[in-house]
Chain A
Amino acid sequence: MSDQKTERLINLTMALLATKRFMSKAEIFNQVAGYSGTTETKERMFERDKDDLRTLGISIEVGTHDPLFDDELGYRILENGYELEIGDLSPTQISYLSLAATIWRNQLFSSTGSHALVKIDALNGTGFREDFGQATLSLENETPLFPALWEAITNSYRISFTYRSSSTTRRQMLPYGLSLWHGSWYLVGYDLDKEEIRVFKVSRIISEITVESKAHSFSLPTEFTIEDHLVMLAPEPRINYVARARVGRCQSLRMNAQISNIDAEWDRISFTLGSDWLEQILWFGYDLVLESPLEKVEEITSVLREKL
C-alpha cells in the first residue's frame, strides 16, 4: 500500500471520529486530505477506503444530516464502537490480562495476543502492570483453520470440509462452537447429512473450510450448550482388574491399587482402568501378569500373539 493511501485512511478515520454530525461524501472529498482526481475516481477511492476500514473492524455509521430529507447520506465513526471500553482495571486485573495475552506460544494466538496487549497497555501504560516474575506458561496448538472456523461460527455460515477419520468424507455442517480439550481443538456443529449434532477433531479436517451460505444462515438453538455435546467430558466406565505385579515395579498402577504380597518376586494388585486398559497393562511388559477378568486375559494374549 502506498504511503498516500495509508495516510488517507488515517485522515479519514480521524475526520469521521471527530465529526459529531454525518459527513457527506462532498464534505469528505473537500476536507479530508488525500482525495484527488475526478469525482468518479474519488468515489471509487472512498468505496475501497470504507471497505478497508471495515476490514480493520472499524464500523462506519451511515445516516442523513436531516431526518426530513433522507436523500444525501453521510458518514461518521462513533467513539463508543471504536474505542476499547473495558471500564476501570486494577493493576492486578491488568496483570492477569497481560498474562492471558502472552501465555501463548502459537503463531495465531501469540500474534493476536500481542495486538491485544498493546491496546491494554495504551489504556494505562506498562508501568501500571504488576510483575509476575519469570513464570512462563505456553501452549502449543498449531491451528491454521481456527480463524476460518471462528469466522464461520460468529457469522453463522453453513460450511463444508473434508474430514479424515476411519474413512475420508466430505461433511456439511452448521458450526456451533469450538472446544479446546487436552490441547486439541474440537468443532461442534449440526451435521447436515447425519442430521444431528456431532463433534469433529479439527486436526482431522484435511481441506480448507468452504463457506456454503451467506452470513446469518442459521441461529444457535436456544437450548444449545457446548459442554452438553462434548463426549470426551462424560465420565468413562471403569472396570476392576486383578494382576500379579513384580515387586517394586508397576509404580503408576500401584498408586491407586490394593496390594497384597505373594512372594519375594510378586505382589497381587487390584485396580480399575477405563477404555485404555490394554495399553496401560501392556506398558508394564513382563512385570505385570493379568489374572482377571478372564476375557481380558484372553484378549491380551490374542493381541500379543498377533503382534509377534
Chain B
Amino acid sequence: MSESALDRVARALDLIPFIRQNPGLSVVQIAQRFNTTPTQISKDLSLLHMCGLPGYSHLELLDIDYEDPNYISVTEAQVLDQPRSLTQMEALTLMLGLNLLAELSSASEEREVIFGLQQKLKTIYGESLSRSISTTEAIIESPLASEILSAITQGQFLTLTYNSATSDAITVREVYPISIQYLHGVGYLKALSVAQGEDRTFRLDRIVSIDKGRIEPNFSTNFNLSDFNNSDETVEIQMGHDGLFFTERHSAIVTSFQEFDGGLRISLSVSAGEWIIRTLISWPTKIMIIRPIELNQRIQERISGILGNYQ
C-alpha cells in the first residue's frame, strides 16, 4: 500500500525519539512498530542520517548507528529527542480506549489509574474530548467480563454455566478462555472447550456464572484455533422497509442486500438452523424466505404450531 507523502516525514520525525529511548532494536522490530517494511525503515534511517541543524557539520547532524541492522541506536538526536505531541485523533483513540477499559474493570484502584489518565488527556487536548464524546454504555456490560479477563491473563481454566439462546438450555462446561472480543457492542468469549477439544464462542451476557479452576499458562498453544465466524449456509429473505433495521441488527451475517419490490431482499450467511428459525419468527413483521425452501416450510409449520397454542 502506498503511503501518503507526509506519512514518511511524520514517521522520520517519530523514529529518532523512539530509537533513542529504545536502543538496540533491529530494523525488523522497528518496522513492526511503525507498521512498515524493514526496507522502508532502512531508507528512512539513511535519509535521517543526512539531516540536522544549520551548519550541517558532523556536530550538527543527527548521529544514527545503523550499520548493524540488528542493533540500531541514536547517539545524537539534536532537537528531536522528545516525541511529538499526540494528534487530536491519537488522543481521542487513547481516550476511547481508556473509557472502554474503565467499563471493563471492576477494581476501584484500576478505575482510579484510568480516571487519572483521562484527566491528563482532557487537560492537554481540550474541551472537545470531554464535552463532545460519550462512551456511556459503549458496550453491553457483563458483570463477569473483568473476572474472565483476569482468568485469560493468568491462563486459568473456567467452568461456565451458560444459557444458550439457540437451544434454550442451561449447560455447564469446562473451558480454557482465550480472548474477549466485542463485535458491535456485544462481548464474546472465545474459549477452548475441554470436552470437545475445539474452540467455541460464548456471548458474555449469557454466561450465568463462572467457577475458576486450575492455572496452566499457554495451554491453548497446543491447539489450532479456527476463525471467529464459522458460517456455511446461505439464506435469502425478502421483507419490507424495516429490512434496513434487520440488516443493521444482524450485520455480522448479512452478506448483501438490495432494494426489491418496495422492500429489501437480503442474503445471509448462517450456520445454526435453530438460531435462524427463531430469529426470523421473532422479527415483528412478515419475512418471506426465498431459499432454502425447506427452511420456509419449517418456519411456516412452527408459526402454525404457535398459533395453535392460542386457540
Contact = CB atoms under 8 A, between A and B. Distances in A.
B8 interface: yes
A204 B251 CA distance: 13
B184 A153 contact: no
A93 B12 contact: no
Interface residues of B, number: 109
A99 B246 CA distance: 34
B148 to A, nearest CB: 9
A56 B93 contact: no
Given A93-B116, A104-B97, A283-B165, A180 B135 contact: yes
A153 B128 contact: yes
B104 A137 contact: yes
**Chain B contact residues, majority secondary structure:** helix
B284 A121 contact: no
Contacts of B306: 282, 285-286, 304
Nearest to A99: B101
Interface string A83-99: 11111000011001101
B261 interface: no
Given A6-B47, A14-B52, A183-B139, A178 B128 contact: no
Contacts of A9: 9
A203 interface: yes
Interface string A45-76: 00000001001111000000000000000000
B180 interface: yes
Interface stretch (A36-44, A124-132, A190-198, A208-216): A124-132
Nearest to A298: B310
B248 interface: yes
B74 to A, nearest CB: 11
Contacts of A150: 88-89, 92
B270 to A, nearest CB: 16
A220 B132 contact: yes
Contacts of B234: none
Interface string A159-198: 0000011100000000011111111100000000000000
Contact of A135 (B132, B135, B179): B179
Contacts of A86: 120-121, 124
B51 A135 contact: no
A278 interface: yes
B82 A83 contact: yes
B153 A85 contact: no
Contact of B136 (A82, A181, A286): A181
A297 B310 contact: yes
A281 B310 CA distance: 13
Given A112-B93, A118-B14, A286-B305, A178 B284 contact: no
Contacts, number: 333
A93 B117 contact: yes
A78 to B, nearest CB: 11
A225 B131 contact: yes
A10 B54 CA distance: 12
Contact of B282 (A33, A93, A282): A282
Given A101-B93, A301-B310, A84 B104 contact: no
Contact of A84 (B83, B93, B302): B83
Interface in B9-57: 9-10, 12-14, 17-18, 20-22, 33-35, 47-48, 50-56
Contacts of B100: 100, 103, 137, 139
Contacts of B281: 282-283, 285, 307
A179 B135 contact: yes
A7 B51 CA distance: 6
Contact of A122 (B12, B20, B53, B165): B20
B84 interface: yes
A100 B17 CA distance: 21
B134 A93 contact: no
Nearest to B184: A183
B21 A121 contact: yes
B53 A14 contact: yes
A240 interface: no
Interface in B85-111: 85-98, 100-101, 104
Interface in B254-311: 278, 281-287, 300, 302-310
Contacts of B241: 166
Contacts of B138: 180-183
B85 A112 contact: no
B23 to A, nearest CB: 9
Nearest to B284: A278
Nearest to B185: A183
Contacts of B183: 139-140, 183
A165 B17 CA distance: 49
Contacts of A113: 90, 93-94, 97
Closest 8 CB pairs of A and B: A183-B185, A100-B97, A133-B153, A182-B185, A177-B132, A122-B83, A31-B54, A282-B282
Given A7-B50, A10-B47, A100-B93, 7 more contacts: A85-B124, A99-B101, A104-B97, A120-B83, A150-B89, A180-B134, A249-B168
